Amino acid sequence: MKVLQFVPSLNAYDGGTATYMQQLTASLGKLCELHVCALTPVKDFVPLEYCVPHNIPLSLWHFGQMKKAWMRLLEEVQPDVIHINCCWMPQIALVTHWAYVWRKKLSRPVVIVLTPHGMLEPWLISRNYWTRKLPAIWLYQRKAVRQCDLLIATAEEEKQHLSDLGWNLQIALVQNGIDVQRIEMKSAWNKPQRLLFMSRVHPKKGLEMLFDALSRFDKCPFTLEIAGSGDAAYVEQLKRLVASLHLDNVVAFLGPVYGEDKWKLIRSADVVVLPTYSENYGLIVAEALASGTPVLTTTGTPWRSIEQQACGWWVNPTVEAIHEALVKVTALSAADLEKMGRNGRLLAENDCDIDVKVNQLYQLYLSKLAKE
């Protein structure tokens, strides 16, 4: 089987999606002939294993060049499965449409799959709805979703939301995963003082709530490190908020952190915090659990299990709920955190194995091809 995965960008600063593709290719590429295409230069891709990398032009101003490059790639690869990742960029919708048109010329089955990666969640659709999302829906987004044979949801909640949206009811659930065995677990735990946020710095991540929650302590008992990239203007806005809340000595903006430095940071943190409004998976949650670091996140993620397995806190995305959870954190000892950390590693080993998830995806490919 030949599979062509398309993702808009594979730069390291893109965070979760690029990291997901690293995990996916390392496993899926062992099962099929795998090609990966992005709109960014191949030289800027994150390291990928067991796949052939490609790129096509990004700019809509070079519409004809972009179409020609994509159609040429389809002719050269002759994929059995074309798997599109992400939504909202018109380039992604165009790639989907051109794949749909190309397939019509063939006398053999070709399956078009879409993984929205949480980009069709209600919170994200509602953001800038009238000025950006509704025009995009009318012009191209709904049509692109309908031209796919299968949608992949990464959580039960996302599957339900895609069903409620009603654009395409061919939906399957395949959770994301990580290579747990490659992740080193921390060997020491401390009384909780050091919080870590490691994700894309974006309004949906809820950092304003976290800052407000920290400011409610008479004397904040934590430090918070923020590792991730984001829009420069938005990052500056957050820094001004930190200053206005008198948290300058509490919050440190580190910028993006990669490679072994990333894993050292996760292991050295006492608690990883993801106070998000909406997340289809939350890769950093799985990575922290595998590292033995407890997690505080919100019901905007599909991570109810961290509360059920006693390896973190799963609270409503409100300032009050986050602050209340942080108060509970202050009462814990190093021994308490070690117990939670070991529970988290066990949860990651049992529920997050990338090979299991990728095999589910591969079987879906085979099933859809057989039905075409």
Query: Can you give the residue ranges of every domain in the chain?
Result: 2-177+353-371, 180-351
Burial of 303-320, coded b for 16+ CB within 10 Å and e otherwise, reads bebbeebebbbbbebbbe
pLDDT tens-digit series, residues 152-164: 999 899 999 999 9
pLDDT range class, residue 59, cuts 50, 70, 90: confident
Superfamily (CATH H level) for 2-177+353-371? Glycogen Phosphorylase B; (3.40.50.2000)
The answer on pLDDT for 193 being more than 80 is yes
Q: Average of pLDDT values for 43-54? A: 93
What does the pLDDT read at residue 319? 97
Q: Which of 167, 193, 156 is nearest to 305 (CA)?
A: 156
Task: Name beta bridge partners: 81.
Answer: 3, 111
SS3 content of the chain, % helix, strand, coil (to 5): 50, 15, 35
Alpha-carbon separation of residue 237 from 202, 240, 264 (angstroms): 11, 5, 28
CA dihedral (334, 335, 340, 343) positive or negative: positive
What does the pLDDT read at residue 259? 86
What does the pLDDT read at residue 138? 97
Average pLDDT of the residues of the chain: 94
pLDDT tens-digit series, residues 68-95: 999 999 999 999 999 999 999 999 999 9
pLDDT tens-digit series, residues 344-363: 999 999 999 999 999 999 99
The answer on pLDDT for 15 being more than 70 is no
What does the pLDDT read at residue 132? 94
What does the pLDDT read at residue 206? 96
> Do residues 76 and 104 make contact, with C-beta atoms less than 8 angstroms apart?
no
CA dihedral (55, 259, 51, 183) positive or negative: negative
What does the pLDDT read at residue 253? 97
Position of tokens 């709920």? 321
Q: Average of pLDDT values for 145-150? A: 98
Task: Name beta bridge partners: 96.
Answer: none
The answer on pLDDT for 221 being more than 70 is yes
Query: What's the number of CA atoms in the CB half-sphere (13 Å) around residue 218?
Result: 0
When the candidates are 1.10.287.810, 3.10.20.30, 3.40.50.2000, 3.40.50.720, the CATH number that belongs to 180-351 is 3.40.50.2000
Helix (H) or strand (E) holding 227: strand 223-227
Share of the chain above pLDDT 70, in %: 99
Q: How far apart are CA 209 and CA 207, in angstroms?
A: 5
How is residue 59 written in tokens? 């700019």
Assess whether the region 2-177+353-371 and the region 180-351 belong to the same CATH fold. yes
